[in-house]
Amino acid sequence: MSPSWFVYLVRCADSSLYCGVTTDVDRRVSEHNQSNTLAAKYTRVRRPVVLAYSEQCENKRAAYQREYAIKKLNKQQKEQLVEQQV
């Protein structure tokens, strides 16, 4: 059985949003907060981060396509996405 894939947004300490893809959202958020080698360069200097949004995708390809689409959104559109999930 293949793993579930997720696209996620974390809110950084400076209120910016970072988008990524993972198979384990909780583990990935923890890595962003604790690891200097596994965390994205963007989030390393903007800690702590908290999960703001996650969306399960059909497969890895769909997750990366959704990530690409989300990264093209402006800040206001990303904030609306976060608010819709709450």
Tens digits of residue pLDDT in 20-60: 999 999 999 999 999 889 999 999 999 999 999 999 999 99
| Short-list 23, 25, 24, CA closest to 9 | 25
CATH code, domain carrying 59:
3.40.1440.10
Residue type, 30: S
CA distances from 83 to 9, 31, 76, 77 (A): 12, 24, 10, 10
Query: What integer pLDDT is reported at residue 28 of this predicted model?
Result: 97
Residue 86 has pLDDT above 90, yes or no: no
Query: What integer pLDDT is reported at residue 35 of this predicted model?
Result: 87
| Short-list 68, 56, 50, CA closest to 7 | 56
Q: How many domains are there within the chain?
A: 1
Instruction: Find the angle CA(59)-CA(79)-CA(30) to the nearest 5 degrees.
Output: 60
Residue 84's φ and ψ, nearest 5 degrees, are -65, -30
User: Which residues constitute the domain of residue 48?
Assistant: 5-85
Averaged pLDDT of the chain: 96
